[in-house]
Structure 1
Amino acid sequence: MGFGKDSARNPWVSPPPIIALRWVCEQGAVVITKSFNKERLKENLYIFDWKLTEEELKKTDLIPQVRTAPLNDFVFEGSPFKTVEEFWDGEM
């Protein structure tokens, strides 16, 4: 079973960005998107019409996490963070 298919709530396979937006919302975070494309804006609103299943949420846990921000920019003399690990608070 792929993400967002085989369900009455979601009759088509959701593209990865839509799945990612839905996942972020289910984590309790706010998503701010930018688009001037009316169709893409409609697609983005679709995330409120369904929820990820438990199986789909478990699959997201298997996705490797990576740090994409240049964290050394946040660790400098006078910074509240003395190390990159301290910036991440030991979590990833």
Structure 2
Amino acid sequence: MFHFLLLTGGFELKISLKWAYEQGVSFVKKSFDKTRMEENFNIFDWKLSSEELQMITQIPQQKRWPALNFIADNGPYKCIMELWDGEI
């Protein structure tokens, strides 16, 4: 199913939702479009194979760090240490 979704295009979200669900993660997908809500519920109609799950775990993670948006040569913060208050 995973390969089919990728080949047909535009289904990365379905794969992401299914992966999260199979990992036991709770999530809320916001949508007011009836068709899209029905599509989101279709993740319960299929399963990712162990090979597909393994492929997904091999995707390099990218973490978003919004603090970097405030750092600029011409801004008030020139480096992350100027922005950080020393607390975790």
TM-score between both structures, scaled by the size of structure 1:
0.63
Q: Distance in 1 between matches of 2:20 and 2:65?
A: 18
Q: More helix by proportion, 1 or 2?
A: 2
Percent same amino acid at aligned positions? 39
In the alignment, what sits opposite 1:43? 39
Structural RMSD (CA): 2.7
Q: Is the 8 A contact 1:4 1:52 kept in 2?
A: no
1:54 to 37, 50, 53: 50
Q: Which runs of 5+ in 2 are unaligned?
A: 69-83
TM-score by length of 2: 0.66
User: How many residue pairs get matched?
Assistant: 71
Question: Per-residue deviation at 1:71?
Answer: 6.0
Give distance in 2, aligned partners of 1:58 and 1:66.
17
Letter in 1 for 2:53: L
> Matched residues in 1 for 2:50 and 2:56: separation?
10
